[in-house]
Amino acid sequence: MSPRLTVLVVVLLGVFLAALGTVFTVHQTQQALVLQFGEPRRVITEPGLHFKIPFVQNVSYYDSRVLELDPQGQDMSLVDQRRINVDSFARYKIVDPLKFYQTVATDTAFRDRFGNILNGSVRDALGQADLTDVLGASRQTVMDQITEAVRRRAPEFGVEVIEVRIGRTELTTDTTQATYNRMRSDRMAEAADFRGRGQEQKSRIEAEANRERTVLIAEAEKQAQTLIGEGEALSRKILNDAQGKDAQFYAFFRSMEAYRAALGEGTTMVLSPDSEFFRYFDQLPR
């Protein structure tokens, strides 16, 4: 190959490489920052074919889609001193590539720095809340507080925070055991209170029942004594009336009652045959 042809090939190759170096493409999911010796020159947000100075300028690309930041979970204390494990994440979008480059330059550096900001905001918010706030109806209020704190820092990095969420929230092993022990103690105290009130109610019911029983027995005994007295009075009246009608029969009836009372089964009596006690036996027909 002649020297002239060699020079021509080299020149053409250089022109081709230079032409390639002047053109770059920005995709629809990207935005670009043109740098000249490390200094930002242009921000390109429109997709398509663009030009730059070859060998002098280079291009850094940044994603224009919504991205996710998921820093390492952390162990923290709530306002009631219970410790929990919290895993938080955020969704963000790069809206100012120039600011992003000037602040952190790379996505890795951003995730490291902004992840610390996110975790710090979560710590500050949960440090003023208790477990009920984190897991109950006040959870959204806590989330809004964290989101507001993170969004205030977002413009420093040229990003927009779409949302912040707390994913996993769980008690540490020690806190779980302490919570269980406290719940167990509370339930035991509540059970003891129920038993105490039940025993008190039982004693009150028993006392009322005993009082009513005493009153009923007293009234029944009173009524029984009254009826016995009335019966005895009626009995005496009948006997008196019977004696008035037939005194001899009355005396005989009383003697029979005396015989029945005195001569029970297995009774032995030794009396004279002419005893007054047997006067009616001599009068019986033979």
- Would you kindly state where each structural domain of the chain is located, as residue ranges? 16-63, 67-171
Q: What percent of the chain has pLDDT over 90?
A: 21
Q: Which residue has the tokens 């480059």?
A: 101
Q: Write the DSSP symbol of residue 219.
A: H
Averaged over 113-140, what is the pLDDT?
Answer: 83
* Per-residue pLDDT reduced to its tens digit, 190-214: 888 888 888 889 888 988 899 888 8
Give the residue-averaged pLDDT of 25-42: 90
- Average pLDDT on 211-240 reads 86
Q: How far apart are CA 91 and CA 66, in angstroms?
A: 6
Handedness of CA 27, 30, 36, 38 (dihedral sign): negative
% of residues, the chain, pLDDT over 70: 78
Query: pTM value?
Result: 0.55
Mean pLDDT across the chain: 81
pLDDT value, residue 152 = 93
pLDDT tens string 147-192: 999 999 999 999 999 999 887 777 666 656 666 677 788 888 888 8
Q: Is the pLDDT of residue 246 over 70?
A: no
Q: What residues are paired with 183 via a beta bridge?
A: none
| DSSP structural state of residue 273 | T
Measured CA to CA, the distance from residue 168 to residue 71 in angstroms comes to 12
Q: Provide the pLDDT confidence category of residue 96 given band limits of 50, 70 and 90.
A: very high
How confident is the model at residue 286, as a pLDDT? Answer: 47
Strand partners, 30: 63
CATH of 67-171, one of 3.40.50.620, 3.40.640.10, 3.40.50.300, 3.30.479.30: 3.30.479.30
